[in-house]
Amino acid sequence: MMNNRNDFFDELSQSLSENNKQLQVIKSDVPFDKQLEFFKIVKRLNTLDLPSIEEQIELLGKSELIEREENVVLASLAMSCDVKAFRALEEHRKLHPGDFANMAYMHANMMLQSEFSDSKLIFISTGMGGKGNNLRYAALFKSNRQETFSAYQRDLIEKEIPYYINRHEGEVEEIEIGDNYFTLVFLHEFNGDVKVLLENAAGECNQFGDFIDNNFILTNIKRFSQEEIEQLLSKENEKDNTDTDD
């Protein structure tokens, strides 16, 4: 899976360098299912004859509009590449903030950027968004044998993990340390090998006692909730006990 990912980003990097294209990472962390819903509507609207921009802006202002109808109008205005439509979406987002309003605003903004830019823009969207050319990721690590971290080990994690990632083209935004696990939210360049980065970061700490498990979970879809963390740790604990019995 990682090889496929690296191949994709290698091809994308080559395309960017050869064809005067720029990469734009969608910044907001709109849930991935909402993003998919938005782009499905956009795809469907591309095949239809749509009302004028003015008519759609007027429709957007009607209070009796149900959510499904509103989402269609938002998507239609977002894909119009029209300054008046963008301003209407900007105002609507202030008055009625939400995932779909955010997606429509960002999409309209990027469409206009692409229209007025000398370079063709390529957009990358993930569930956690990003910043500049960096994607945002979440990672979950656990202690070896799920033993409780000592105060010294917690201090090492808190200092060494962000230091290593920040020193290697990354930026740690959040780090939370539990009794026997820790989570990270961080940024890293879109074509970087994030798996190796995290392995090496954990390895820096493990020089002082081998207390972080080599297996970790990495995603760019969503942050880990406390419930998800507890479920994942419980499954890993069951697996560890099974391995011990064998």
Q: What is the pTM of this model?
A: 0.65
| Domain residue extents for the chain | 18-124, 130-245
Q: Nearest CA to 44 among 23, 27, 68?
A: 68
- pLDDT tens per residue, range 136-188: 999 999 999 899 999 999 999 999 999 999 999 899 999 999 999 999 999 99
- pLDDT tens per residue, range 121-139: 556 667 788 887 788 999 9
Q: How confident is the model at residue 48 (pLDDT cuts 50, 70, 90)?
A: confident
- In which residue are the tokens 């820790």 written? 182
- Out of 12-26, 165-179, 197-211, pick the least confident: 12-26
Q: Nearest CA to 56 among 38, 74, 44?
A: 74
Length of the chain: 246
Say yes or no: domain 130-245 is CATH 3.30.70.1290: yes
Strand pairing class (21-25; 120-124): parallel
